[in-house]
Structure 1
Amino acid sequence: MKIENYIWGALEVGGKIYTRDLKIFGGQIFSNWWRKEGHFLYREDIQDILVLKPDYLVIGSGFYGLMRIDPELEEYLQKNGINYFISDTSSAVNKYNELVQEGKKVAGCFHLTC
């Protein structure tokens, strides 16, 4: 499932515009994604995605890249052989689309503002 467009606060997927943070995996969109702390990402915030065993996890940390990642989450990803890419959401969208185009089993988690 390709992402068509991203601007601050809005992501377009499948012709629909989402204005709340979201996760994408296996052709499904999990919208209105809330985290334990707004600008910090913990493993439990994406546990529902991790149990599905993606080959690649793309994390969009916001327009300005302000969302931080818990070091324990990065350690978990490394230990479990899950490739990951963490960057501002614009770069993350580009990477996500690239991996989808390559046919990878990719999950995306996108913070749309900040």
Structure 2
Amino acid sequence: MIEHYGFGEIIINGKKYVHDLIVFQSGKIKDNWWRMEGHRLSIEDVRDVLEDKPEILVIGSGYNGLMMVDGDVVKTLKDAGIDVIIKKSAEACRVYNELKMKSKKTALAIHLTC
């Protein structure tokens, strides 16, 4: 579970992270996640999530929501049967925790700054 999110940091299960990351449905974390373009999310950036096949991918678009998500990302994920929720990162953390408590197979891709 996500215990804390603030600009540039997140605490998950007692461990602090200071780089963007992906949390897979299993709980495995891909730390220091970099996108092909820093503030734009493309399908290649979430290829690992696509292969993992969660029911839902929650995307945290940054503290101020400045990370843009390409339209083909949402379409490709939905075509693969993965629902997509895009929120500013603080709200994304709240939504992710709620879905995990409901035992949904949920992944999170989160931009910690901007």
- Does TM, normalized by the shorter one, top 0.5? yes
Report the residue type matching 1:84 in the other structure.
V
Hey, what's the Cα distance between the residues in 1 that align with 2:34 and 2:97? 23
Unaligned runs of 5+ in 2: none
1:36 maps to 2:36? yes
Moved more, 8-17 or 76-85: 76-85
Q: How many residues align?
A: 113
Name 1:12's counterpart in structure 2: 11
| TM-score normalised according to structure 1 size | 0.97
Q: Which residue of 1 aligns with 2:102?
A: 102
- Residue type at the aligned position of 1:28: K
Within 5 A, what are the aligned runs for 1:35-74? 35-74=35-74
Q: CA deviation at 1:78?
A: 2.1
* 1:57-77 residue CA offsets vs partner (Å, 9 max, x unmatched): 000000000000011111112
Q: Which runs of 5+ in 1 are unaligned?
A: none
Post-superposition offset of 1:14? 1.3
Moved segments of 4+, more than 2 Å: none
Asked if the contact 2:50–2:80 (Cα under 8 Å) also holds between the matched residues in 1, the reply is: no
Counting aligned pairs with the same residue, the percent is 46
Partner-residue secondary structure (3-state), 1:93: helix
TM-score by length of 2: 0.97
